[in-house]
Structure 1
């Protein structure tokens, strides 16, 4: 009987995918297809949970099939991330001309990411204190206790590292290993390696221009191929979002969320407030927040459902360059840096909230200014090199909590609502990197205002 139900569920998913295929053939806009996929997935997921229950075997096996479209899509995006970062940054740097300056671009992007992370931490602290969140009030079951033990074991890999040692981790001692994502700092290491190649080409221009020109032609050819792959993968976005949101909705345990509804609510209040701050910053630089929001929503929806800042890099870059008018170099740098440095949600909001919640359990006054200022500083420093995939927030929290001499095991109390909160955190991470790219381009005069003013859908550009 269960087999029949699974077959029916998979058949329904195929029908929903067919609806999206029909919409594409009718040339319905990319944005509308993305939101249709989101809506259909939400409804289908709710129906599945009501029919079978979140932890049922039918849902487990059905979502396993749905993952062919959902996690498969995320996997294809992750496949193209490293090649995209490499050829895009090499191409952007080796084609720098005149007033363009790599140091200014990189420095300004990183500065904006770190400043907004500090603001995110401050917002999180205020929110946590306002909601009066305390770790001691959360009941620890067997699952939470196991998670706490696992976190303490994982702490051994990051505990005791000084700031200079953490900085040394960014150096790509083996760039080929970093291309496989071997370390949490691999994406940043690939960015650094690619930047060195780009700078080397600029130096080669003066000594051996023929070789520099030959290398440029090779990179331009590879860049064209990679961007074509990106385009092909991005066309699958509506289908990926349909499957991803169906899985999340069908498997989310409503009872566990209700137990921690206060924490979930506080988390999303902090995330929304920080998102509004992003829009205010853009408005200060003469960007219409409403028009901006319309253009970035498909990218944020994907980040929300996939929970991977790194996987969102291709769509992030495409949105910045084709919809917001940001130059290729700045877009690629901000998207790449934003996946590993200064993540406003995972490295800003979350660790600060945990620290404030846990502090009273060891006799620390969370209202102490010395504690608060130290916490914000530690959050900003610890935001370097956080992996832009699921688990990045946990890694950031381990560093922050251990540096502040707080017990890391208590972070395991929130395991049941981690996926739900992580969706919002990831969307904020990606929006933070886009904001950094747009503002940097504006300050350096690299943005094309006409592209931002256009109301063209992403379909009419490349997808």
Structure 2
């Protein structure tokens, strides 16, 4: 019995924790009427401690994880200047598609309003000035006056800017500061391992958060979560089957239907594995079969697996709207632009750890003053969404690679159109 339990993946344990939390919360809501047992012992102590303890652990990770990953990511990205035009085009397209993705999510979230009706507004909850300040103030507030103070207080936009600058300087000085570069790389590895460790208690934290929520809300909390999932899936579908094909047609005049016919197996593999990194060899092979030169794809695909997180950006945009509506917070234009910028920056250098998108979501929430506690409501169903968004992520990598290769005259269109046999990489699956 114990051996079977050990074989259950962490993602499934989180899903189990969510379902059990909902069931137990509903049971307390409808069948337990003793205020001492229900409120004093369970809701206000056990569930409060378990849920908020987990949230605090997530908050603990955000600043050092983001700072180290941004520095390491910026340092490695700056090296692509050696590759010239290919590198510049790749980074630009990846960042543009991510910005489009999170914008789509914010629009869908404002239309469907997944968090409406939850009424989780907290009396006395401090509102971040980002909600009302002007764009000029927002730009100025991105520049840290005291980087140490920014790190200590979690001013995420300032942390991102400072990290980017440090990474660029490390890339420029190279061997002169190799020790510092290694220190940040090792620090990034440490934070990734710490993230994995914290995630081991996620099932307990999710159970407590869901039980506490549904003990007070009852069935009213189920519909918003379902609407949130619908928002994310609609956003992913638009990105994958409207935005990407449109970009392919506009920039290359190639047939997107032919692309999806060949690429469907890679999307299915990404869906089942929920990891972009594992799809890299298969992605490279399929692109080679479509006539894309390996000297382009061998650079753009691994880079995309690290910084191109369109699916994750859509999830984060929908989550922002969900939380803002649930807590009755009206996000202005400045706050929405801040979300877009922060989500795009969060995509750099944070791949490789399960559910890391939720950790960086904490950073996005902090940037505009949203209560991080709202993440607990969507934590349990993240694994289901993660499968879909991973498929979208790797599709974006491939489409952007074809565009860059086409502009660099590194696509054999006859091979792409099936008029000539491809020269494959010789990778077997």
* TM-score, scaled to structure 1: 0.55
1:345 aligned residue: 318
Q: Within 5 Å, which residues of 2 pair with 1:402-421?
A: 420=377
Which of 87, 93, 97 aligns to 2:77? It is 93
Q: Is the 8 A contact 2:244 2:396 kept in 1?
A: yes
1:189 offset after TM fit, Å?
Answer: 2.1
SS of equivalent residue, structure 2 residue 143: coil
Matching residue of 1:188: 160
Give the 3 Å change call, closer, same or farther, for CA 78–383 of structure 1 in structure 2: closer
Please give the alpha-carbon distance, in whole angstroms, between the structure 2 residues aligned to 1:65 and 1:79.
23
Partner of 2:204: 243
Partner of 2:42: 59
* One of 133, 137, 148 as aligned partner of 1:165: 137
What is the rounded CA distance, in whole Å, between the counterparts of 1:246 and 1:57 in structure 2? 18
Q: 2:74 & 2:366 partners in 1: Cα distance?
A: 32
* Alpha-carbon distance between aligned partners in 2 of 1:243 and 1:252, rounded to the nearest angstrom: 14
Give the corresponding residue for 1:409.
none
Q: 1:438 to 1:216 in 2, by over 3 A?
A: farther
CA distance in 2, matches of 1:167, 1:272: 32
How far apart in 1 are the matches of 2:267 and 2:70? Answer: 31
Residue of structure 1 equivalent to 2:14: 38
Correspondent of 2:230 among 235, 257, 269 = 269
CA contact (8 A) 2:144 2:162 kept: yes
Q: Which residue of 2 aligns with 1:117?
A: 102
Distance 1:442 1:391, change over 3 A: closer
Match of 1:81 in 2: 65
Equivalent-residue separation in structure 2 for 1:337 and 1:169 (angstroms): 28
1:215 to 162, 170, 177: 177
Q: Does structure 2 conserve the Cα–Cα contact (< 8 Å) formed by 1:110 and 1:337?
A: no
Check the 8 A contact 1:90/1:197 in 2, yes or no. Answer: no
* Deviations 1:242-295, CA, capped at 9 Å, x for gaps: 212211232122562534666555444323322333454679663643322223
> What is the deviation of 1:233?
4.3
Asked if residue 383 in structure 1 is aligned to residue 339 in structure 2, the reply is yes
Contact 1:112–1:436 under 8 Å retained in 2:
no
Q: Count the aligned residue pairs.
A: 348
Contact 1:170 1:385 in 2 (8 A): no
Give ranges in structure 2 of 5+ residues lacking alignment.
Answer: 246-255, 282-299, 344-359, 406-423
Alpha-carbon RMSD: 5.4
Q: Distance in 1 between matches of 2:379 and 2:11?
A: 20
Is the 8 Å Cα contact of residues 75 and 168 (structure 2) preserved in structure 1?
Answer: no
Q: CA deviation at 1:395?
A: 7.0
Alignment CA distance shift 1:95-1:139 (3 Å)? closer
Q: Secondary structure at the match of 1:251?
A: helix
